[in-house]
A and B are shown apart, each in its own frame.
Chain A
């Protein structure tokens, strides 16, 4: 209803640019936290991050490579509750709790590196296509179309299989495949934002195209990318776990997917703990980022943002 005079926010006298920007950030944060579901997600994420950071303190790091599950032939397939192994042990005698904790580290690595890489590649490609347009747009979008013709999971699987089973190859495979959606998202946003007159204004003032991109176009296009990136932090771990489950990762790695894979052998004989606890972690991680992503999207929606 354009007819109603919307009450304008009552402001204390503004003092400086930094103060105002911080205040704005504060407002966004407060609004995000208003949603209880989002808070739950955030709490889970904070706990996971803490777990990942404090892994060396919470457990005794395995020698020589703490990311490898420790093997203890004396404690094979112990059920949860066994002294020294609250969550039980795996078929190789590895402490499930150790796997859960160090798995959060590997998951953190995985999601951060892949999301950073895909966002960067996707933003660059999408920006070139959207901002420059013309032939470059057509060529790049054809490339995107080719990528999209292949189902993401299969594609990643194929690349990882070709490169050979290893954790870093999984990271690489995911980075190669999953940037495409970002390119599309940001291209669409840029094309839309470009139509605003403040972009024309900047040109009339005499600003260079690159600076216009940085100051006017990118900041106003990036929001959906941020929301998607948050969701992907969760989703990537799921996909990575899938690839690990199939066996494209390293055996014995302290990674949730690998643990689920190695532990599922025991389920038929009643040894549920080696798969279930890491599986639960994957679920929680993905869920948490989804919740936060959703909450973030609601807050950053342009309709609510301008108020």
Chain B
């Protein structure tokens, strides 16, 4: 079985310990169309600038709540959809990555022909959306997926034998009796057997269907498997069986996993390193132990605080988060989490939207607002039906009732007749920074930017 993998290595530059998947600034934006002519009026930024590395033999956990983009990212990595920005690279060596990052730092027009050529060379061998021929096949065989809903991930009209044997048939690896035997051995490796060959998916339980899914994923002896919430739809006792199986398979076959889940307990158990996602970006990343014992981002802390844990301390009560996830078509400035963060600071990216939200929730002074004229996300004019309302709003904003993190960020408020002009201090988007070896976070409370506070 290793011979297959050796074949696909022929096209690689150097054999050595290198990442399986490298993501550089990956973006996936979905256009929002409106109107009769279906004009594009905006984009849902499901994934908005993610850079990651998945190393051989490890399990990288990807955790976050609904709308964070983890499933979309999984689909991009496994090649189901193509990213709209950035690049996903398969088996990119560290040397090539360094070279690539240098080239990408230079704006496209200014790149030398040499740089362009080098980039093309790297892309043709590693960029998954540019691969062709044998290189593409190598990627395709070595990157497989197991989905959450085993019922919709198995064709209800196909027999188990055909489902599990299909990858072998497509890549012309076996046929006839040999194919059947290979399928049987795959089924056995996931705890099922020959008697299951000629059955339909609906004749199995959820746990068994998931095993069939796993057997299919293993058919081509892949190096890397994307597991998208593989046990979320299963009962606890069945989940335990599947998680044990996944571990066993990883150990026996040297597999690399991307484990996507919203369940912190499961992710902690199964992952070596974990990346936490919020609204399309990675906010913190580190080893499983580090992240859980010494989290360095308020969102990670919030997740941990909200998670009911069977082994938690007696007196620990679960805590939730205020508010809702912001609109991914219009993500907040600065740190995207600042609208809900219990420990937000003045430099976290306060903008006009935050002031408007605060006013509309805590007061009813916006009932007479007629228009909002934006010059930027930080700078706008609010128009009101009468001067009195504008004055009241102006007073409210300067009076001291504004949240203590927001008011220092307010650079200027002035009332002019029926209009209120407000201007916040513009802030750059936050960047991930390594605060400890192997532990990155984007929260200003922990990065070097805390000096600004």
Contact = CB atoms under 8 A, between A and B. Distances in A.
Pick the most buried of A20, A197, A307: most chain B CB atoms within 10 A of its CB: A197
Residue from B159, B170, B198 having most chain A Cβ neighbours under 10 A: B198
A29 interface: no
Interface string A1-39: 000000011010111110110001000000000000000
Nearest to B152: A196
Interface string B144-168: 1101010011111111011000110
A205 B147 contact: no
Contact of A20 (B80, B153, B156, B198): B198
B141 interface: yes
Given A19-B198, A200-B147, A203-B80, A216 B155 contact: yes
B171 interface: yes
A209 interface: no
Given A9-B203, A306-B156, A206 B149 contact: no
Contacts of A306: 156, 202
B141 A198 contact: no
A180 B111 CA distance: 54
> Which of B143, B149, B152 counts the most chain A CB atoms within 10 A?
B152
Contacts of A220: 155-157
A173 B82 CA distance: 45
A17 to B, nearest CB: 6
Contacts of B161: 17
B157 A219 contact: yes
Contacts of A206: 137, 140-141, 167, 170-171
Interface string A164-183: 00000000000000000000
B154 A198 contact: yes
B149 A197 contact: yes
Interface of B, helix, strand, loop or mixed by DSSP: loop
Interface residues of A, number: 29
Nearest to A204: B145
Q: How large is the interface on B (under 10, 10 to 19, 20 to 34, 35 or more residues)?
A: 35 or more
A201 B145 contact: yes
Given A198-B153, A198-B155, A207 B199 contact: no
B372 interface: no
Interface string B196-227: 01111011010000000100100110000000
Nearest to B75: A200
B152 A198 contact: yes
A85 B125 CA distance: 84
A202 interface: yes
Most buried by A among B157, B159, B167, B205: B157
Contact of B79 (A15, A24, A198, A203): A203
B150 to A, nearest CB: 9
B153 A196 contact: yes
A17 B159 contact: yes
A210 to B, nearest CB: 12
Contacts of B200: 20, 24
A205 B153 contact: no
A270 to B, nearest CB: 58
A135 B200 CA distance: 36
B79 A205 contact: no
Contact of B198 (A17, A203, A215): A17
Contacts of B145: 200-201, 204
Contact of B147 (A19, A201, A211): A201
Given A197-B147, A219-B155, 13 more contacts: A8-B205, A9-B203, A11-B203, A17-B161, A197-B152, A198-B155, A201-B147, A205-B167, A206-B137, A207-B166, A211-B170, A219-B157, A306-B202
Interface of A: 8-9, 11, 13-17, 19-20, 24, 196-198, 200-207, 211, 215-216, 219-220, 306-307
19 contacts: A8-B205, A14-B199, A17-B161, A17-B162, A20-B198, A20-B199, A196-B153, A197-B152, A198-B153, A200-B75, A200-B153, A201-B145, A204-B78, A204-B80, A204-B140, A204-B144, A206-B170, A215-B155, A306-B202
